[in-house]
Amino acid sequence: MSYTAHVDTFAAENLPPRSLWPELIFDLPELHYPQRLNCATELLDRAIERGWGDRFAIRSPRGDLTYRQLLELSNRIARVLVEDLSLIPGNRVLLRGANSPMMAACWFAVMKAGAIAVATMPLLRAKELTDIVTKAQVSHALCDSALAEELEIARTRCDSLSMILHFHDEAGLESRLRDKPADFRNVDTAAEDTALIAFTSGTTGLPKGTMHFHRDVMAICDSFPRSILKPVAGDVYLGTPPLAFTFGLGGLLLFPMRFGSSTVLIEKLTPEELLRAVQHHRASIVFTAPTFYRMMAPLAAGFDLSSLEKCVSAGEALPVSTRQLWKEATGIDIIDGIGATEMLHIFISAAGADIRPGATGRPIPGYRARVCDADGNTVQPGTVGMLAVQGPTGCRYLADERQTRYVRSGWNFTGDAYLMDEDGYYFFQARADDMIISAGYNISGPEVEDALMTHPAVAECAVIGVADEERGSIVKAFVVPRKDRAPDAALARELQDWVKGRLAPYKYPRAVEFVPTLPRTETGKLQRFKLRKGV
């Protein structure tokens, strides 16, 4: 590896040993990168060199930015970070905001300054933010003023977080930008310098931070979009996933920037508003979850969707019925895909004539996959087993013993049960752990249990995912109430509101069932499989 540009060496010191990294493969010529690489230079600065300066990069209700304007805004923010906030390369910067031009510019500014972006979901509460800040030892934060309250609460619990600067606030970041020059000399980072720490939650509920390099950012731009989307400069991207999701970061910012396209960033979208935005902005590529496609299908006839060419689905399994509904409504075959925070973006997919209903697809160029038994041996086609993947990206957890569970013998084991048919198509079967995927959101059952257990009326509880036609799965809580509380509908609503007040609202249990006892082993271990069988 080239010598790191990071002065703050926290990231390098907390990477897993190289012996525990997955084997990385760079089979395609476009995946060969120089040892010195800054992804902001490649994605944004080079856009001006390519003559794209006057093209629209971002369209938004908050205003539009050309590539040149986005570059200059990012440069000014980088100057604020370095000159006003004493940021040094390698510091971790928490980014908190909904999808907006300023959120995108802040992300690029962090890359330019050689720091590490830690983007967080807008709905996260103080406890969740505290866990992330503590784990990543975040020192700086750029936060939308509308989302400041929970982060300010977390700040009181986090010694490392020394500086929070609010944007969309004339007295905050914007006031510091006015006198800053529009140029900035990007830090000469190494290709293997960490660019971002993307957080996901495991079955324990403890946050896992996956460390991705500048090279990884470029690799996902030169994999899925190049081979599956086949983008052109005139494309207009639009969708629902937040930039804090790697699905959204890639699909709504990195991919369009790589190919000289434009993206539409809207802070909150309903299915009807998404369709209206497609019509208004003449969007050609949409990224969203299966739930949205199902909800948009009966509304589609009321909008002009003639500009729409490609629709990407990820975040949860795509039901065959949803694919068919959307095809009947629009004539468009949804491009399904499976990705993972640990892999950064989609690695199995199919488009056009290669789509096979019910299948996620095949490994995209640059990646390889196999289905394994419990011992890691490849199973025969048609046999259900554990999905294992290799490619130019892979899992490197931040100081986490769970690295050895995700990476085995050089392969990334995603925690998904799949089968592969004779033609090499991969069919999703189930999640192998207790992660609940609801409307595209990953929800840790134990994390919801922990929140419920803080309520004085709860003696015991267990959380599982149950099938739901609209959302794919929903969170269901089995609760043993204390003897002084009646197990009634009022208590169920109270518990739901309790969780909403402590965790991101999408994590609350949409179903609550009161039970006298929970199934446990003789040693006291909860037997969730018995609860699932009873649903």
CA distance 193 to 15: 11
Element of type H or E holding 247 = helix 246-249
Q: Is 25 exposed, middle or buried (0-12, 13-18, 19+ CB in 10 A)?
A: middle
Candidates 317, 301, 276, 275; CA nearest to 428 is 317
Query: Residue for token digits 């929800």?
Result: 443
> Is residue 269 a contact partner of residue 293, using CB atoms and an 8 Å limit?
no
Predicted TM-score of the model (pTM): 0.86
Identify the DSSP state of 445: H
Is residue 5 helix, strand or coil?
coil
How confident is the model over 114-148, as pLDDT tens digits? 999 999 999 899 999 999 999 999 999 999 999 99
For the chain, how big is the Rg over CA atoms in Å?
23
Q: Is 127 exposed, middle or buried (0-12, 13-18, 19+ CB in 10 A)?
A: middle
Per-domain residue ranges of the chain: 435-534
Candidates 397, 371, 411; CA nearest to 24 is 411
- How many other C-beta atoms are found inside a 10 Å radius of the C-beta of residue 167? 22
CA distance 269 to 275: 9
Q: Is the pLDDT of residue 525 over 70?
A: no
User: Residues 125, 129, 130, CA angle at the centre, nearest 5°?
Assistant: 115
CA distance 268 to 242: 9
Q: Is 375 exposed, middle or buried (0-12, 13-18, 19+ CB in 10 A)?
A: exposed
**Mean of per-residue pLDDT scores for the chain:** 94
Whole-angstrom CA distances from 477 to 55, 202, 248, 489, 524 are: 50, 18, 29, 13, 19
pLDDT band (50, 70, 90) for residue 203: very low
Query: 3-state SS string over 310-330?
Result: EEEECCCCCCHHHHHHHHHHH
Q: Return the pLDDT at 294.
A: 86
Query: Residue for token digits 């011992």?
Result: 375
- The residue-averaged pLDDT of 486-506 equals 95
One-character DSSP codes across 273-293: HHHHHHHHHT-SEEEE-HHHH
User: Residues 434, 194, 104, CA angle at the centre, nearest 5°?
Assistant: 85
Q: Is the pLDDT of residue 244 over 60?
A: yes
CA distance 531 to 225: 41
Q: Return the pLDDT at 365.
A: 97
Evaluate whether the domain defined by 435-534 bears CATH number 1.10.150.300: no
CA distance 72 to 388: 42
Helix axes 445-453, 489-500, angle to 10 degrees: 110
CA distance 370 to 420: 8
Mean pLDDT lowest among 33-42, 136-145, 396-405, 526-535: 526-535
Candidates 276, 312, 253; CA nearest to 102 is 253
Of residues 103 and 384, the one with the higher pLDDT is 103
CA distance 108 to 368: 30
Q: Is the pLDDT of residue 382 over 80?
A: yes
- The residue-averaged pLDDT of 506-532 equals 82
Q: Is the pLDDT of residue 488 over 50?
A: yes
- The residue-averaged pLDDT of 475-480 equals 96
Which tokens sit at 250? Answer: 């890639």
CA distance 524 to 517: 12
- The residue-averaged pLDDT of 207-217 equals 96
Is residue 332 helix, strand or coil?
coil
Element of type H or E holding 271 = helix 271-281
pLDDT above 90 as % of the chain? 84
CA distance 236 to 251: 11
Candidates 207, 224, 208; CA nearest to 216 is 224
One-character DSSP codes across 185-241: -----BTTSEEEEEEEE-TT--EEEEEEEHHHHHHHHTSHIIIII---TT-EEEESS
> Is residue 71 a contact partner of residue 48, using CB atoms and an 8 Å limit?
yes
Is residue 427 helix, strand or coil?
strand
Candidates 453, 495, 472, 478; CA nearest to 529 is 478
pLDDT band (50, 70, 90) for residue 521: low
Q: Is the pLDDT of residue 523 over 60?
A: no
pLDDT band (50, 70, 90) for residue 535: low
Q: Return the pLDDT at 446.
A: 75
233: left (phi over 0), alpha (psi -120 to 50) or beta: alpha
Is residue 91 helix, strand or coil?
coil
